[in-house]
Amino acid sequence: MSAITLKSVKKRYQKSLVVHGVDAEIEQGEFVVILGPSGCGKSTLLRMIAGLEDITEGEILIGGTVVNKLEPRERGCAMVFQNYALYPHMSVAQNIGYALKVAGMPRAERDGKVAKVAKSVSLEAYLDRKPGELSGGQRQRVAMARAMVREPKVFLFDEPFSNLDAKLRVAMRAEVRNLHRSLGVTSVFVTHDQTEAMTLADRLIIMNSGIVEQIGKPSEVYHRPASLFVADFIGSPAMNLVRGHFAQDGYFRHGKGGMIHLPTIAPALISQEVSIGVRPELVRRVSATAKGAIAAVVDYTEELGAARLIYADADGSRIISVDTATDALGTGMPIHFAIDPADLHVFSHDTGRRIELGEAQRAATQTRINA
């Protein structure tokens, strides 16, 4: 039995539909991250699970029971809010222990539990402070301790690290990961930060404008994006996406008269409007004479330290390549790339969905996913 089930869940505010029928299954003990650009309905979805928003249509089940009509307190979820939402007038200990107090737990037992949880997030020295006297990272920990102390069935996180600086964010990420490993509580984590999502998630739910674009493991999402949106959204630098069509002559035609020799790809796709995609790290530099070389002109480069990004123009289409060579490259210099057809992703231009190609490509992506 799944820990959480979403059955065509919809949310409507006045007239606008902000969550368009989401279906998902979240397994017991799984760490699921809902990822998407801001405003796409992630928080709304999470808050419907928490019971903070009414569910317009569809059903949400937690532990097999429909919870649509249940109050937040009856759902067994704990939540960590984006701005922490600590009670400013209560001490850290009171903040953490409030849920227990409400539940009527005797004082002594409560204090013991609070102390134990505080210790697990290294807050034991701050129990008497008010939230206003804590640093951002400490507040974050209080918020987590407050969620943990109730031993909930489900943890919900709404962009909990977005107010922290980059370094602290990385540290907190590791901490959450460890906590999850030791507690094993089903967790749903909302973020718009793909690095955070990729590093934390067992599985990702990728959303865009209220629609689920893809559900899958981080490596699946990366190596086999189900849609143009996912291909573009996941990965940094973003995937090269070139719009055009396959012609009879075995060339892919794009941009202003651009031609890429891709003979064996897919006879069925001929003259259909598509986008082909390839990850910048899989775009190789080759010599001008290499077979199937794509001629381009360097626009500019970006130094990353370990490598550099080459932004080039191939007959009106932008090509980005991750390059480890160290030769001097100036604007306007000619450059040549090659791509392996097995590394290609093809997306229908009409539907934005992925088009599966032949066995070779499937095998190549599968190897990467498994790696």
Q: Which residues bind ligand ADP (CB under 6 A)?
A: 13, 18, 36, 38-44
Return the one option of ligand ADP, Mg ion, other proteins, none that residue 18 interacts with (CB less than 5 to 8 A, by type): ligand ADP
Looking at beta carbons only, is 84 or 246 nearer to Mg ion?
A: 84
Using the contact rule CB under 8 A, the part of the chain among 16-24, 97-105, 206-214, 224-232 near other proteins is: 97-105
Return the one option of ligand ADP, Mg ion, other proteins, none that residue 365 interacts with (CB less than 5 to 8 A, by type): none
Amino acid at 228: L
CB 182 within 8 A of CB 174: no
Return the one option of Mg ion, other proteins, ligand ADP, none that residue 78 interacts with (CB less than 5 to 8 A, by type): other proteins
Q: Look-up: residue for tokens 């991750």?
A: 322
Cα 84 to Cα 95: distance, rounded to the nearest angstrom: 11
Backbone angles phi, psi at 223, to 5 degrees: -90, -20
> What's the alpha-carbon Rg for the chain, to the nearest Å?
25
Using the contact rule CB under 5 A, the part of the chain among 37-45, 176-184, 271-279, 350-358 near Mg ion is: 37-45
Residues 102-141 that bind other proteins (CB under 8 A): 102-103, 131-132, 139
Q: Counting contacts by CB under 8 A, is residue 229 touching other proteins?
A: no
| Smallest gap from residue 160 Cβ to Mg ion (A) | 11
- One-character DSSP codes across 124-181: GGGTTS-GGGS-HHHHHHHHHHHHHTT--SEEEEESTTTTS-HHHHHHHHHHHHHHHH
| Smallest gap from residue 196 Cβ to other proteins (A) | 20
Please give the angle made by the CA atoms of 230, 20 and 198, to the nearest 5 degrees: 30
| Smallest gap from residue 78 Cβ to other proteins (A) | 6
| Smallest gap from residue 268 Cβ to ligand ADP (A) | 37
Near other proteins by CB under 8 A: residue from 1, 14, 38, 71:
71
| Smallest gap from residue 347 Cβ to other proteins (A) | 39
| Smallest gap from residue 255 Cβ to ligand ADP (A) | 34
Cα 54 to Cα 50: distance, rounded to the nearest angstrom: 10
| Smallest gap from residue 194 Cβ to ligand ADP (A) | 14
Burial-class residue 97 by CB neighbours within 10 Å (0-12, 13-18, 19+). buried
Q: Counting contacts by CB under 8 A, is residue 81 touching other proteins?
A: yes
* SS3 (DSSP) at 325: coil
Cα 209 to Cα 203: distance, rounded to the nearest angstrom: 20
Near other proteins by CB under 8 A: residue from 26, 40, 77, 215:
77
Q: Counting contacts by CB under 8 A, is residue 46 touching other proteins?
A: no
Chain centre distance of CA 45: 15
Q: Fill in the DSSP letter of residue 277.
A: E
CA atoms within 13 A of residue 175's CA, in its CB half-sphere: 17
Q: Look-up: residue for tokens 């006297």?
A: 133
Near Mg ion by CB under 5 A: residue from 5, 43, 208, 365:
43
CB 153 within 8 A of CB 63: yes
| Smallest gap from residue 129 Cβ to other proteins (A) | 12
CB 93 within 8 A of CB 46: no
Q: Which residues bind Mg ion (CB under 5 A)?
A: 43
- Give contact residues for other proteins (rule: CB under 8 A): 50-52, 54, 71-73, 77-79, 81-89, 98-99, 102-103, 131-132, 139, 146, 150
